[in-house]
Amino acid sequence: MTIGATNGDHEYDRATAVKQFDESKIGVKGLVDSGATTIPPFFIHPPEALPISTSSTAPPVSELIPVVDLTGVDSDRRSRIVEQIRNASREFGFFQIINHGVPSDVINSTIDAIKAFNEQPTEVKSQYYTRDMGRGVFFATNFDLYKSKAATWRDTVHVRFSPTAPEIEDIPEILRREILEWDQHTRRLGEVLMETLSEGLGVKSERFKELSCLEGRVMAAHYYPYCPQPDLTLGIESHTDPGLLTVLLQNHIGGLQVKHDDEWLDVKPVPDALVINIGNILQIFSNDEFKSVEHRVLAHSCREPRISIAIFMDPGKMEQLYGPLPELTSPENPAVFRQFTLVEYFKRFVTKELDGKSLINFFRL
């Protein structure tokens, strides 16, 4: 595969290389399958955007990421669980949950289904490859491929579950049953998380449900194959999630990192755990009490793929005005964000590249 290859006698044409790669519909998995031993130049990031190599004797900073046990969330343990989630949301913007009620076999079958889709022949999966983000189901390498300064090493299947679900037959059969079941489980879990987050803010349990915060659900299932030059690129560059809340399932191949106090912390995979992170909209609703933090995924040289499946939960009423919850503002604690509609908010998100600059500052008063 010579997509993006350079010729010492000719000037490199990045735009042509990106277009050629995109129109091939092979994704980065296709580059690996073709036997590529180097990555195309448009995947190479400037050194300042890449991780700094650290000593293998460094302390295990991944242990700093909180792990919350949801056992007894409807019992007298609830107040303790709410406190742990509140503290994690304030300090890290990230935490992992265990004993969340989703069976291990469902977790494993969901990961296996995403893996199976990506490992189909190109001619099978390429029928879903598109830049049309309005479709309920689509497959692509980097939704911001043409806007970003450098591409990242992943392929992604997107499925919009709500508020407007795709036709069932539009979902690839190889993963259809598994992801529909995954959506059911994560929706129930989302209700529990939003209740505890509401309580952590000191407002009534149903507050986020009243704001339609379970009505917008989108899945982005990422496949990160072996990368021949992982020190030159990233799996996903540093960014904050735009929505309210993200529920993330990751397999055992590490690479997810969270920025905390200007240091990158590993989010070490925990068997059967789910990663929860606060999105920009929840930071706005909380009037800056909860934090949406930068995170990224490293490229890797493992022959086994890293797989992660994110469910993004957002409010569903696109024309409604949103902003800091009135219960959390007062003359002594004024709102620090202006109100906006989701139409305005997501329009700004999809017209910019995915980068570390949060959308939040645009809406800050």
Peptide bond into 163 cis (omega under 30): yes
Query: Would residue 345 be called left, alpha or beta, if left means φ above 0 and alpha means ψ between -120 and 50 degrees?
Result: alpha
Q: What is the pLDDT of residues 136-165, one digit of tens each?
A: 999 999 988 998 899 999 999 999 999 889
Mean pLDDT of 253-263: 95
Q: What is the DSSP string of 136-201?
A: SEEEES-TTTTTSSS--S-EEEEEEEESSPPPGGGS-HHHHHHHHHHHHHHHHHHHHHHHHHHHHH
Per-residue pLDDT for 3 more than 80?
A: no
Mean pLDDT of 323-350: 92
> Domain range holding 119?
14-46+62-316
Question: What is the per-residue pLDDT for 126?
Answer: 95
Residue 53 lies in a domain: no
Question: What is the per-residue pLDDT for 57?
Answer: 39
**What percentage of the chain reaches a pLDDT higher than 90?**
82
Residue 330 lies in a domain: no
Tokens standing for residue 8: 């010492």
DSSP-based three-state secondary structure for 282: helix
Residue 121 lies in a domain: yes
Residue 144 lies in a domain: yes
Per-residue pLDDT for 244 more than 60?
A: yes
Question: What is the per-residue pLDDT for 362?
Answer: 87
Residue 135 lies in a domain: yes
Question: What is the per-residue pLDDT for 64?
Answer: 86
- Number of domains composing the chain: 1
Report the C-alpha gap between 197 and 194 in whole angstroms: 5
Q: What are phi and psi of 139, to 5 degrees?
A: -125, 135
- Among 168, 125, 170, 166, smallest CA distance to 28 is for 125
Residue 7 lies in a domain: no
- What interhelical angle do 104-118 and 173-201 show, nearest 10? 130
Q: What is the pLDDT of residues 197-206, one digit of tens each?
A: 999 999 999 9
Per-residue pLDDT for 72 more than 60?
A: yes
For residue 33, give the CATH number of its domain.
2.60.120.330
Report the C-alpha gap between 258 and 297 in whole angstroms: 9
Q: What is the pLDDT of residues 4-22, one digit of tens each?
A: 444 444 568 999 999 999 9
Mean pLDDT of 47-69: 71
Task: Categorize the per-residue pLDDT at 60 as very low, low, confident or very high, splitting at 50, 70 and 90.
Answer: very low
- Among 268, 264, 290, smallest CA distance to 279 is for 290
Question: What is the per-residue pLDDT for 357?
Answer: 52
Q: Which of 69-73, 238-242, 285-289 is least confident?
A: 238-242
**Burial readout 223-234 (b: 16 or more C-beta within 10 A, e: otherwise):** bbbbbbebebbb
Task: Categorize the per-residue pLDDT at 63 as very low, low, confident or very high, splitting at 50, 70 and 90.
Answer: low
